[in-house]
């Protein structure tokens, strides 16, 4: 596939994701600001993007920090195929974050780990194990940042957060963007993506078990502290859309 053909799918992916995350670009900018600040004294920062999909965040980090070594990790061959076809200067790793094989594919010490709209796919135990692994990889001062929809754990407040999410989407004008199912239907029937579709079909991803994680924002923060991170708090929020930050001393 050509870089231009991939780019059209990537733009379409971004618009589709914005239907669910109206402030996605702002959230990316906040994440980049935090990473940039955390690694400002590091000559060659090493950054990993967990559940990178087609590379939207990794690419924005690469633009912001062209001297960084950036690795995007995902288990979806189609989304990784789009990233590989369009973005240069980033290493793309095809691996399952609920296992440990990806560790062999990243440098032994990292300065930042980021993730957006992805880690809710891991169950609570898998996420806690991932946080312990990340803590072990982090250089002193290293930062982990998770941008995702995370409940606060109070039924009434979580319902209000949903209202905020939908009203925000309407104000931004993204509520009628192409949805997840329509994007995948289009990708699955596209002749130019047929090889990637076949690779994805053979992979048998467990897409049916989407949103397995039940940790609240407090639960995630506790899991990060238990994993060895010292400074943990959400630093940006719109409704249930959080940017949770954890720094390792
Ligand atoms: C909604 S997409 C978000 C992608 C990207 N971070 C973004 O913000 O556009 C969720 C991503 O998580 C990935 N993912 C889910 N579970 C995974 C796992 N166990 N290992 C690796 N990637 C996973 C999916 O393949 C998908 O690319």
What atom in ligand 1 is closest to the CA of residue 99?
Answer: 19
pLDDT category of residue 204 using cuts at 50, 70 and 90: confident
**CB of 47 within 8 A of CB of 35?**
yes
What atom in ligand 1 is closest to the CA of residue 115?
Answer: 6
d(C-alpha 168, C-alpha 173), whole Å: 8
Per-residue confidence (pLDDT) for residue 1, from 0 to 100: 87
User: What is the residue range of 10's domain?
Assistant: 3-247
Pocket test for ligand 1, best of 75, 92, 187, 203 (most atoms within 8 A of CB): 75
Q: Does the structure show a pLDDT above 60 at 207?
A: no
pLDDT category of residue 168 using cuts at 50, 70 and 90: very high
Per-residue confidence (pLDDT) for residue 208, from 0 to 100: 46
- 27-50 pLDDT, tens digit each: 999 999 999 999 999 999 999 999
Q: Is 88 exposed, middle or buried (0-12, 13-18, 19+ CB in 10 A)?
A: exposed
Say how many Å lie between the first and final Cα of the chain, rounded: 44
119 CA to centre of ligand 1 in angstroms: 7
73 CA to centre of ligand 1 in angstroms: 9
- 121-164 pLDDT, tens digit each: 999 999 999 999 999 999 999 999 999 999 999 999 999 999 99
81 lines ligand 1 (CB under 6 A): no
Q: Is 237 left (phi over 0), alpha (psi -120 to 50) or beta?
A: beta
Number of domains in the chain: 1
> Strand, coil or helix: what is 47?
strand
d(C-alpha 135, C-alpha 133), whole Å: 5
Mean pLDDT of the 154-182 span: 97
Mean pLDDT of the 179-200 span: 97
Pocket test for ligand 1, best of 51, 70, 102, 133 (most atoms within 8 A of CB): 51
Q: Does the structure show a pLDDT above 90 at 67?
A: yes
For residue 140, the domain's CATH number is 3.40.50.150
177 lines ligand 1 (CB under 6 A): no
């Amino acid at each position: 596939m050509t870089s231009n053909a991939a780019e059209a799918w990537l733009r379409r992916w971004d618009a589709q994701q914005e239907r669910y995350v109206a402030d996605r670009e702002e959230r990316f900018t906040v994440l980049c600001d935090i990473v940039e600040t955390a690694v400002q004294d590091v000559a060659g920062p090493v950054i990993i993007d967990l559940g990178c999909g087609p590379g939207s965040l990794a690419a924005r980090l690469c633009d912001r920090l062209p001297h960084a070594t950036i690795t995007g990790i995902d288990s979806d061959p189609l989304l990784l195929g789009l990233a590989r076809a369009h973005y240069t200067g980033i290493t793309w790793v095809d691996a399952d974050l609920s296992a440990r094989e990806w560790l062999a594919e990243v440098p032994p010490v990292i300065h930042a780990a980021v993730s957006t709209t992805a880690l809710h796919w891991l169950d609570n135990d898998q996420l806690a194990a991932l946080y312990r692994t990340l803590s072990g990889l982090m250089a002193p001062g290293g930062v982990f940042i998770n941008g995702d929809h995370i409940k606060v754990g109070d039924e009434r407040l979580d319902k209000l957060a949903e209202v905020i999410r939908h009203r925000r989407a309407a104000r931004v004008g993204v509520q009628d963007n192409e949805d997840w199912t329509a994007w995948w239907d289009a990708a699955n029937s596209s002749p130019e993506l047929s090889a990637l579709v076949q690779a994805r079909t053979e992979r048998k991803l467990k897409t049916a078990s989407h949103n397995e994680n039940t940790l609240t924002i407090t639960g995630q923060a506790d899991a990060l502290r238990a994993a060895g991170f010292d400074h943990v708090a959400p630093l940006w929020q719109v409704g249930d859309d959080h940017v949770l930050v954890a720094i390792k001393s």
